[in-house]
Copies of this chain bind each other. A is one copy, B any other.
Amino acid sequence: MAKTRATSGLDLHIERTGHRVRAGLETALREAIRDGRLQAGTQLPSTRALASDQGLARNTVSEAYDQLVAEGWLTARQGSGTFVADLDSVTPLRATSATAESLASIRFDLRPGQPDLTSFPRSAWLSATRSAMGAASDQQFGYGHLRGAQQLQNALAAYLGRARGVIAHPDQVIICNGFTSGLDLICDVLVHRGTTRFVIEALGHTLHHRLLARREMQIATIPVDGVGAVVSELPSADAVLLTPAHQHPLGGALHPARRRAVTTWANQEGAVIIEDDYDGEFRYDRKSVGALQSLAPDRVVYSGTASKSLVPGLRLGWLIPPNDMLEELIEAQRLTGRHASIVDQVALAHLIESGGYDRHIRRMRNIYRRRRDRLESILTERVPSARVRGVAAGLHAVVELPPGKTEDEVVATARERGLALTGLSETIAEAESPPPALVIGFGTPPSHSYTAALARLVAVLEHS
């Protein structure tokens, strides 16, 4: 970095950085103009003078001037020299610090919603990527194949039929960027249909609630209990978002009678059921409950994701819509650019076809089952008044607080001790009064720190 002073009628500091001389000079001049050090109308030194001052070749300076004239920073007046152009003032840029996460003080994280990130099978993923990229056609990397890699559509249709009981033709499979993206895409279609009466479960993801509100849906809620959403209370509506395999957060599977009732309701209303099957792969006590979609494939948009089965960072999700919604969704996806990486798509297809995906899920199911068992047994033993609910499936459990404790108090005490917790009331879409409880995510901590995280939880519940 050289700090130099130009002469020739102009007091000018320019700092040139980096190796590329002309680019450095251009950058220095742009900055000087932007900072106001070089004011509009100021005549620049002649190329000869500046070259001499800076120890540069004259044509380097000429080229830099030409470039900045082309970019609009300078103007060249024939015969009279080069001048700083008349730009409107610009305010200097600065980074916003509000977006930076300040999670440094958290040592243990038992908040729900995330799988064990340390178990992401990176080498299997990389190996699948290598194989799949080797086998992909050149055309697959172009615009024509953005909607979904045919390999992945085939693999998912077969996998979901086999593992989740979903009825799907490969052409029906829409690959999107995770569930949030898929839900927003569905809303896009609903808005364009003019059907915006939307029902959600009274306890659920606040992000989804905010997404719907942003889409200007008219939102109603229905209660949830230990066997899912109370669908008998469904009002007249155009769409309902359900978590039938594993209610989030309470943890129950939708009761068989309710499964039938909600499809009857949807047929009567002409409504769409959005089945958020976010962690249907992880069921511990019995065979997994098949997808609701198979009961009413012309009413249900089945939605799955790799965010829990693998990791959220892949941003891979899939929709299996009713046939009469398929073209609308494809068009909306195209016009809003909601496509997932083709590289990851073919990699996931390869992982499923090779059996690696099933192996990973079986392995994780065992890990999570053991974690759940340990959570349940340590609380039963050490804090018997804290009742553990909804543990037959998934990556989280609801822990009702011992009498006399409030969520705010427990969450705050835990935070002071470096443990991040989520209160059940944080998952409420509308005014409800569930019992004081925590939603404990047992997927999140790496295995080596799970014991310590549980110990910290017990300490907080015993003493706070």
Residue numbers of A with Cβ under 8 A of B are 18, 23, 26-27, 30, 34, 63, 67, 69-73, 75, 85-88, 90-91, 93-96, 98-101, 103, 113-114, 117-118, 120, 122, 125-126, 129-130, 133-134, 138-147, 161-162, 165, 167-172, 176-184, 192, 207, 210-211, 214, 253, 256-257, 259-260, 263-264, 267, 287, 289-290, 292, 294-298, 307, 311-316, 323, 326-327, 330, 332, 334-344, 446
Contact = CB atoms under 8 A, between A and B. Distances in A.
A292 B87 CA distance: 12
25 contacts: A70-B290, A71-B256, A72-B257, A72-B260, A72-B295, A87-B295, A88-B267, A91-B323, A93-B168, A93-B169, A93-B297, A94-B169, A95-B170, A103-B144, A117-B142, A120-B141, A129-B129, A138-B446, A142-B312, A146-B312, A181-B339, A182-B337, A214-B335, A313-B342, A315-B340
Contacts of A75: 256
A117 B139 contact: yes
Contacts of A289: 70-71
A417 B142 CA distance: 23
Given A87-B296, A118-B138, 17 more contacts: A70-B256, A71-B256, A73-B295, A85-B260, A94-B323, A117-B138, A117-B139, A142-B313, A143-B312, A145-B313, A177-B337, A211-B335, A211-B336, A314-B342, A338-B338, A341-B341, A344-B344
B71 A294 contact: yes
A89 to B, nearest CB: 8
Task: Name the residue in A93, A144, A170, A172 with the highest tally of chain B Cβ atoms < 10 Å from its Cβ.
Answer: A93
A26 B101 CA distance: 48
A155 B325 CA distance: 40
A425 B368 CA distance: 59
A354 B129 CA distance: 21
Nearest to A130: B126
Contacts of A260: 72, 85-87
Nearest to A287: B67
Contacts of A171: 95-96, 99-100
A264 B343 contact: no
A152 B192 CA distance: 35
B94 A313 contact: no
A72 B304 CA distance: 20
A146 B117 CA distance: 14
Contacts of A18: 162
A110 B141 CA distance: 17
A139 B106 CA distance: 13
